[in-house]
Amino acid sequence: MRLRGVRRYHWARDVDEALSLLSAYQGKGAFLAGGVDLARSPRTDLEGLIDLTGAGLSYIREDGKGLHLGATATLAEILSSAQAQEYAGGILRETLRLVAYPALRNMATLGGAVVSAHPWADIPTLLVALDAEVLYRNAEGEKRMSLAELYRTDFRRIFRESVLLEVLLPPLPGAFAFEKIGRNAGDIALLNACAGLALEDGRIAWARLSVGARPERGERLPWLEEALVGERPSEALWRKVEEEVRARIEVGSDRRASEAWRREVAGVLVRRALARAAGKAGT
């Protein structure tokens, strides 16, 4: 554990207490949820940790606006929740089972995953495809915004002084599929993709696509979403999509995979995700 400077641990009983404790540390405190990331991070600047897991943010509930996932709900709790399993044809279950391994999922929270937003992570790619909204609170009040929009801001600075309260997943038509490629099961992604489709009279009426893990944090492909509407799902269509993704997508390079490899594989993952989503949506 590389948090040697930490002298105090606080168990916040609610969000107001968490915020006032954080402010008292004047930049030398941090929120703690599952602790999976914090335990690995070399943060020698911290003096106090403020545990959010008792602050009433572990709920999973549904209403007319959609599925509300409290920030400290663990990945395992979401996996075993009946409401989460039913959402959008079971895409939460399908994806979260690909995240690391059970021991980690028992500790890691959804909020921690949204805030840490690793460039290779699966959860941002999933949530961006699902049009997720986030709700957070700081000294100025509460703010709700789309996760895709949040990720275009300096979100790490925002969460130095804000508590993420929940992720809201709106009701969506159709069915989704998630594809991830890593070196082995349990490994982090070299690339991932999420596709959602709704069909009407055998034609695509609505589409959602995001690709992540360099591109970071789930990039939507609006040009492809629009182009798919009105088309009939077919193997020929998916092959054409694969070629177009390969030609147009912007991917990154790092020590784990080259830009050329990611470009090649992005087409394959989008094709596979679309074909599976179409299968689930009823072709």
Ligand X SMILES: Cc1cc2nc3c(=O)[nH]c(=O)nc-3n(C[C@H](O)[C@H](O)[C@H](O)COP(=O)(O)OP(=O)(O)OC[C@H]3O[C@@H](n4cnc5c(N)ncnc54)[C@H](O)[C@@H]3O)c2cc1C
What letter represents residue 255's amino acid? Answer: R
Residues 189/181, Cβ–Cβ less than 8 Å: yes
| DSSP-derived 3-state class of residue 249 | coil
Q: What is the CA radius of gyration of the chain?
A: 19
Torsion of CA 50, 51, 54, 56, to 10 degrees: 70
Angstrom distance (rounded) from CA 65 to CA 171: 7
Residue with smaller CB distance to ligand X, 69 or 71? 71
Residues forming the site for ligand X (CB under 6 A): 30-38, 40, 52, 71, 99-100, 104, 107-109, 111-113, 115-116, 118, 121-123, 159, 163-164, 188
Residue with smaller CB distance to ligand X, 188 or 229? 188
Residue with smaller CB distance to ligand X, 48 or 89? 48
To ligand X, the closest distance from the beta carbon of 213 in angstroms equals: 9
To ligand X, the closest distance from the beta carbon of 283 in angstroms equals: 29
To ligand X, the closest distance from the beta carbon of 202 in angstroms equals: 34
To ligand X, the closest distance from the beta carbon of 88 in angstroms equals: 18
Q: Nearest CA to 270 among 229, 220, 231?
A: 220
To ligand X, the closest distance from the beta carbon of 241 in angstroms equals: 25
Residue with smaller CB distance to ligand X, 21 or 36? 36
Angstrom distance (rounded) from CA 125 to CA 129: 6
Angstrom distance (rounded) from CA 61 to CA 240: 40
Residue with smaller CB distance to ligand X, 188 or 268? 188
